[in-house]
Chain A
């Protein structure tokens, strides 16, 4: 198992070595980058907004109902909602969700290219297939993830306000007070920095699984599942180290 793991790590590093080479044509790179930006980034905005909106609302309700008491300040719910959204949800949890959506998309797309010999066709033409296919995906996801993090935080806060405006669980004034209490801008940047690493993990690891598919459609499905599982585990592990590193 250790041998297999080391072999996979070696193959991954070699693939990344081929990926991070200067593209043959910058014009083609930017064309692909734009396509991936739309496919991986813009197409993920909807699901990020939807999930963040509901999670923001649910966190606010749970804190209000289960933690807040007469011994605690009225702004506790708003304060806790903001901290959870900024510190963990909008970076780590949101990237776990994206690992499912974007990771499986990348692995199955590249895997299908592999089994239908499209990657071989690129190689025969003299194109560095790793750089041509994978680099725009990594660049697009890493460059767009800060936007998704920002949208996620904003949607979470809107969700919390919905509980105040529509369900009247908390007053908007208390919520606003909590959201503004002891605000540390670094926490936002911490989420953004973490998400950059997570985006790299999602795009590169999924690409690795897709690129190394051997066989047919069943193997593509397996690669897609393995990509999601591996990305999720790596995101959770790296979250511990990054949180420790960025919090000190």
Chain B
């Protein structure tokens, strides 16, 4: 379980996160949602320790990352897997080498064992056939799947996914969401997904945190999203529907041209 307590963060005097407190439970997919620029990525970067919050605490099963030494933080990070927005695969390595990398760095397994584990992870995300390819030879979805395989190679206790569906078509997005959800439940890990994709929200959102302008605006499950009376959440969720409605001529007629 990850517990965030009263996190604050500013850049150049501009407050980006204000007093955010939240709990992310084990064995469930926790979603952070919100508009672009609302502070989702900053919050995730604070949680994983890429950014240092100005105040507040972040506990990983009782261990506070904000007061850890570099060594302690480095050890904790070996329990963390992360899927970056662009995949962040190492260009000079093949798909298999990318997945083997964390094992090469930290595991005490022999070469055959490491290779076997990496192949298993690739098979899990249906990427075994592309094991010998370089990242620039892969499609966006294949890169994301490889990044998931690399993230789970060390059997992490915590999995973070930053915009896993950005740049992907809806069908591939469903595959990625499905994988994240399955891996979370299979391994009973704490997964935090940063997204503004409503399909993900309705598909895998077991615990949803909605951030608006750096503030925690709403928290609940996917079943509560549509029935919520929270104005900001409704504005965010139904924006897609409203844009669709704009194409209706009867609605357009009544709109100003600005």
Q: What is A's interface to B at a CB cutoff of 8 Å? A: 24-25, 27-28, 35, 112-113, 116-118, 120-121, 123-128
Most buried by B among A24, A35, A113, A127: A127
Contact in complex: B106, A117 (CB < 8 Å) = no
A121 vs B80: C-alpha distance in the bound complex, in angstroms?
A: 11
How many positions in chain B have a CB within 8 Å of any CB in the partner chain?
A: 25
Chain A nearest CB, measured from B82 CB (Å): 4
The answer to whether residues A124 and B74 also contact, given A24-B106, A118-B91 and a CB cut-off of 8 A, is no
* Chain A contacts for B86, CB-based, 8 A: 116-117
Q: Which residue of B lies closest to A128 (CB)?
A: B74
Q: Taking chain B's interface residues, is the majority helix, strand, or loop, or is none over half, making it mixed?
A: mixed
With beta carbons under 8 angstroms apart, the residue of A35, A116, A124 that contacts B50 is A124
Chain B nearest CB, measured from A40 CB (Å): 14
* Chain A contacts for B85, CB-based, 8 A: 117
With beta carbons under 8 angstroms apart, the residue of B80, B90, B105 that contacts A124 is B80
Contact in complex: A125, B104 (CB < 8 Å) = no
Contact in complex: B88, A118 (CB < 8 Å) = yes
* Chain B contacts for A116, CB-based, 8 A: 86, 88, 91
Q: Which residue of B lies closest to A112 (CB)?
A: B91
Q: Which residue of B lies closest to A27 (CB)?
A: B104
Report if B84 contacts A (CB, 8 A): yes
A106 vs B166: C-alpha distance in the bound complex, in angstroms?
A: 30
The answer to whether residues A120 and B50 also contact, given A125-B78, A126-B74, A128-B74 and a CB cut-off of 8 A, is yes
A126 vs B79: C-alpha distance in the bound complex, in angstroms?
A: 9
Chain B nearest CB, measured from A140 CB (Å): 15
Q: Taking chain A's interface residues, is the majority helix, strand, or loop, or is none over half, making it mixed?
A: helix
Task: List 22 interface pairs A-B (beta carbons < 8 Å), by A numbering.
Answer: A24-B105, A24-B106, A27-B104, A112-B91, A113-B91, A118-B89, A120-B88, A121-B88, A121-B90, A123-B50, A123-B77, A124-B80, A124-B82, A125-B77, A125-B101, A125-B106, A125-B154, A126-B74, A126-B75, A126-B76, A126-B78, A128-B74
List 7 tightest A-B contacts by C-beta distance, closest first.
A126-B77, A117-B88, A121-B88, A126-B74, A124-B82, A126-B78, A117-B84
A125 vs B151: C-alpha distance in the bound complex, in angstroms?
A: 9
A118 vs B90: C-alpha distance in the bound complex, in angstroms?
A: 6
B38-84 at interface with A (beta carbon < 8 Å): 48, 50, 73-78, 80, 82, 84
* Chain B contacts for A125, CB-based, 8 A: 77-78, 80, 101-102, 105-106, 154
* Chain A contacts for B105, CB-based, 8 A: 24-25, 28, 125, 127
Most buried by B among A28, A112, A120, A124: A124
Contact in complex: B84, A121 (CB < 8 Å) = yes
Chain A nearest CB, measured from B103 CB (Å): 10
A49 vs B101: C-alpha distance in the bound complex, in angstroms?
A: 37
Q: Which residue of B lies closest to A120 (CB)?
A: B50
Chain A nearest CB, measured from B200 CB (Å): 20
Chain A nearest CB, measured from B114 CB (Å): 12
Contact in complex: B48, A126 (CB < 8 Å) = no
Most buried by B among A116, A123, A126: A126
Contact in complex: A124, B106 (CB < 8 Å) = no
With beta carbons under 8 angstroms apart, the residue of B82, B92, B104, B106 that contacts A121 is B82
* Chain B contacts for A124, CB-based, 8 A: 48, 50, 77, 80, 82, 160
Known: A116-B86, A117-B86; 4 extra A-B contacts, CB below 8 A, are A117-B85, A118-B89, A123-B50, A123-B77
A112 vs B48: C-alpha distance in the bound complex, in angstroms?
A: 22
Q: Which residue of A lies closest to B150 (CB)?
A: A121
A120 vs B77: C-alpha distance in the bound complex, in angstroms?
A: 12
* Chain B contacts for A112, CB-based, 8 A: 91
Most buried by B among A27, A113, A116, A125: A125
* Chain B contacts for A35, CB-based, 8 A: 92
Contact in complex: B104, A25 (CB < 8 Å) = yes
* Chain B contacts for A27, CB-based, 8 A: 104
Contact in complex: A126, B106 (CB < 8 Å) = yes
Contact in complex: A120, B74 (CB < 8 Å) = no
* Chain A contacts for B90, CB-based, 8 A: 118, 121
Chain B nearest CB, measured from A123 CB (Å): 7
* Chain B contacts for A128, CB-based, 8 A: 74
* Chain B contacts for A120, CB-based, 8 A: 50, 84, 88
* Chain B contacts for A127, CB-based, 8 A: 105
